[in-house]
């Protein structure tokens, strides 16, 4: 159930805007927003995927890793949504392990059949 799933806290900090004070504005930003001095800055907007990248980069690795443990986590879907590529080899490893087990079982069955 949804109530039993613990989501990582950092996902609630996704910000698609950030206040940039006039003193921290680049020369290019000052040209783009020439009246920013009036309110001592401007509100910088990020695309959804840019915001995710910024959040992801400043989140500690342990918290980022917790995303992979969410039920039904899929790295491909996560990348489609956030733009963040996670090398999720755990599913690949799991599938390869299962394939190896099935191959061994098939070989055992073949030997047993040949001995009949």
**What rounded mean pLDDT belongs to the chain?**
89
Q: What is the residue-wise DSSP string for 24-80?
A: G--HHHHHHSTTTTTTTEEEEE--HHHHHHHHHHHS-HHHHHHGGGSTT--HHHHHH
pLDDT in tens, 23-42: 999 999 999 999 999 999 99
Q: Can you give the pLDDT at residue 95?
A: 78
Q: Can you give the pLDDT at residue 44?
A: 96
Tell me the mean pLDDT in the region 73-99: 81
| In the predicted structure, residue 110 carries a pLDDT above the cut 80 | yes
Tell me the mean pLDDT in the region 61-77: 87
Q: Can you give the pLDDT at residue 90?
A: 60
| In the predicted structure, residue 1 carries a pLDDT above the cut 70 | no
């Amino acid at each position: 159930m949804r109530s039993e799933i613990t989501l990582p806290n950092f996902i609630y900090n996704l910000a698609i805007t950030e206040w940039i004070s006039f003193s921290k504005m680049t020369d290019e930003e000052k040209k783009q927003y020439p009246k920013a001095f009036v309110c001592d800055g401007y509100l910088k907007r990020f695309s959804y995927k840019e915001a995710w990248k910024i959040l992801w980069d400043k989140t500690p690795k342990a918290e980022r890793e917790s995303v992979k443990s969410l039920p039904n986590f899929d790295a491909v879907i996560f990348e489609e949504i956030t733009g963040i590529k996670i090398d999720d080899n755990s599913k690949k490893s799991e599938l390869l392990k299962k394939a190896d087990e099935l191959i061994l079982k098939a070989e055992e069955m073949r030997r047993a059949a040949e001995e009949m």
